[in-house]
Amino acid sequence: MKWVLAAGVLILSAGAAAATEPAKPTEPPERYQIQRGDTLYDLAGKYLNRLGDYRRVQRANRVANPRRLPLGGELQIAPELLRTEPIAAQLVAFRGAITVSQGAAELPVARGMPIREGHALATGPNAFLTVELPDGSRVTLPSNSRLRVQRLRRVVMTGALQRDFAIDAGRSNAVVTPARNPRDRFLLQTPLTVSAVRGTEFRTNFDPERGQATLEVIEGTVTNVRSADASEQPVTAGFGVQTTPQGAGAPAPLLPEPKPVRGALLQDEPELSFRLEPLDGAGRYRAQIAMDAGFVDIVAETEAPSPQLRFASIPNGTYFARFTALAADGLEGRPSTFAFERRLNSLSLEEPRALAGAKRRYLFKWTTAGEGTASYRFVLTPSRAGAAPVIDQSGLTSGEFVVTDLPPGAYEWRVLVVRFEDGKAAEKWSAPQRFEVAR
C-alpha cells in the first residue's frame, strides 16, 4: 500500500484573546493510492470513522461504483473522516505541588502515570513537571503554569501522530523529536498564537493579565500564527516574537547565553549562589536547577533583576544549572547549561571569649554543616606582615579550641575544615577573623 502526501501547506488560525478554545488546524485532504482489490466499503471498514462515510468519499471523488475502483488511481479523503486511536504520554518527572485533572475530577499524581487527551496539568509555586510522548518528545512546565492536552491520537490510515496542547497561563519548554512521518503534527497553542513544529526546541509563554504571548526558538524553525490576520510567520533559531490581540511583532534576536563567573560551579554554602557575567540589554535573569542535562527533572527555579541568583539549600550531588537573560520586552534569551557539584561544607567563626581562671584562657569556636566526617585545623597568627603562626594545630575533631597564656597583642585566626564523604575529601578555609588581647 502506498501513501502520497497531499499537496499544500498546513493552514493554522488563532482565535481571539477572549476565545475559550484556540482555533483548530485546517488540513488538506489525505491521498490514498488505490490497490488491487480495494473497494470503498473495505476502505471505510478499515480506516474511516463510520462505514457510511464511504458515501462522502464517493461523492468527493466522483466514484460511480463503490465496489469498482481504478487500480493505481487516487482517492482524496477529508481528514475528519479518518479513524484515530488514542495514545498516551507519561508523567516522567515532577516536583512540588502539581495537579492532573480530567474535567472536574483531580487525579492521583504519580511518576509514570499516563497523561491522556482531555487531561489538564498545573504547577504551583516552585513546582515543575515533564511529560514525555511515545516518540520521545517532551513538554516541561515550570512554576505557576497551566496546560491542557487537547489531542493525543494516531491516525490509523497513515500512522500520523496528532499532538495538540494548549497553554492557558505561564510558560512551557518543548523539545520535539524530528518527525518520522511527514504527517506528524505537534501544536502548542495559546489564546493568541499557534506554534507548529516538525522537530525542534522552543519555549512559549502566555500572560493572561498582560494579554501577551511570546515564542522563543532555540533550535529549528517554528511557525507562529498571527491572530490579527491568521498569516504564518516562520521564526528561526535564535529569534523570538511577541503577540498581542493586535497582532505579532517582527522576530527579534534573543539575548546570548549568560556565562557564570569562575567558582560558581562548586556550591558548598547553605544557600546556593550563582553570579553571571552581566549582559547588555538584560532586564532580568533566570536560573533553573535540574537532576539531568535535559532538564526533565527540574528541582528549583529563580529569577532576579541582577546577575546574582540564589537558591535555598538542596541535597548533595551532581546537578545541572540553566541560565537565561530576559530582555525588557519579556523575550527570554538563549540558555547556557553547566554541571555543578553540590557539596555542603559551610564554616563560620564565632567571636572568641575569655574563660574564667588565673591564666589568660580563650575559647575559639566555629560551626560547620555538611555530610560525612570532618576534621579541623586551627591557625592563630600575629597581625603583622610576615609573622609566623603561634599556633597551627591540625587533626581536631570538635568545633572548638582553647588557647592558654596568650600574650597581649593583635591576632588573626582562621580554621580549615576537611570533610570526607564517599571516598572524597573537600577542603575549605574560613575567612580570617581579627582578635585582640588587651594589655
Q: What is the dihedral of CA 91, 303, 148, 96, to 10 degrees?
A: 40
CA–CA dist 51, 188 (Å, integer): 33
Domain match, 416 and 392 both? yes
Whether residue 383 lies inside any domain: the answer is yes
Whether residue 259 lies inside any domain: the answer is no
Domain match, 47 and 90 both? no
CATH at 366: 2.60.40.10
| Boundary-marking domain end, from 31, 54, 81 | 81
CATH at 213: 2.60.120.1440
| Boundary-marking domain end, from 295, 312, 342 | 342
Domain match, 102 and 249 both? yes
Question: What amino acid occupies position 433?
Answer: Q
| Boundary-marking domain end, from 230, 253, 276 | 253
Residue 7 has pLDDT above 60, yes or no: no
Domain match, 8 and 62 both? yes
Whether residue 258 lies inside any domain: the answer is no
| Candidate from 108-117, 174-183, 272-281, 376-385 with smallest mean pLDDT | 174-183
For the segment 140-162, the average pLDDT, to the nearest whole number, is 95
Residue recorded with cell 609566623: 388
Q: CB under 8 Å to 171, separation ≥6 — which residues?
A: 141, 142, 145, 203, 204, 205
For the segment 400-405, the average pLDDT, to the nearest whole number, is 93
Domain match, 45 and 95 both? no
Q: How far from 320 is each of 124, 200, 265, 308, CA to CA, in Å? A: 22, 21, 9, 17
CB 164 within 8 A of CB 190: no
Domain match, 336 and 349 both? no
Share of the chain above pLDDT 90, in %: 75
Domain match, 193 and 232 both? yes
Domain match, 103 and 226 both? yes
225: domain range?
84-253
Whether residue 25 lies inside any domain: the answer is yes
| Candidate from 14-23, 72-81, 127-136, 430-439 with smallest mean pLDDT | 14-23
- What pLDDT score was predicted for residue 19? 38
Domain match, 18 and 115 both? no
Q: Which residue has the higher pLDDT, 358 or 288?
A: 288
- Give me the number of domains the chain comprises: 4
Whether residue 362 lies inside any domain: the answer is yes
Per-position DSSP letters for 28-81, written without gaps between them: PPEEEE--TT--HHHHHHHHBSSGGGHHHHHHHHT-S-TT---TT-EEEE-GGG
| Candidate from 49-53, 225-229, 434-438 with smallest mean pLDDT | 225-229
Whether residue 42 lies inside any domain: the answer is yes
- What pLDDT score was predicted for residue 423? 81
Domain match, 174 and 247 both? yes
Domain match, 277 and 416 both? no
Domain match, 21 and 58 both? yes
Whether residue 100 lies inside any domain: the answer is yes
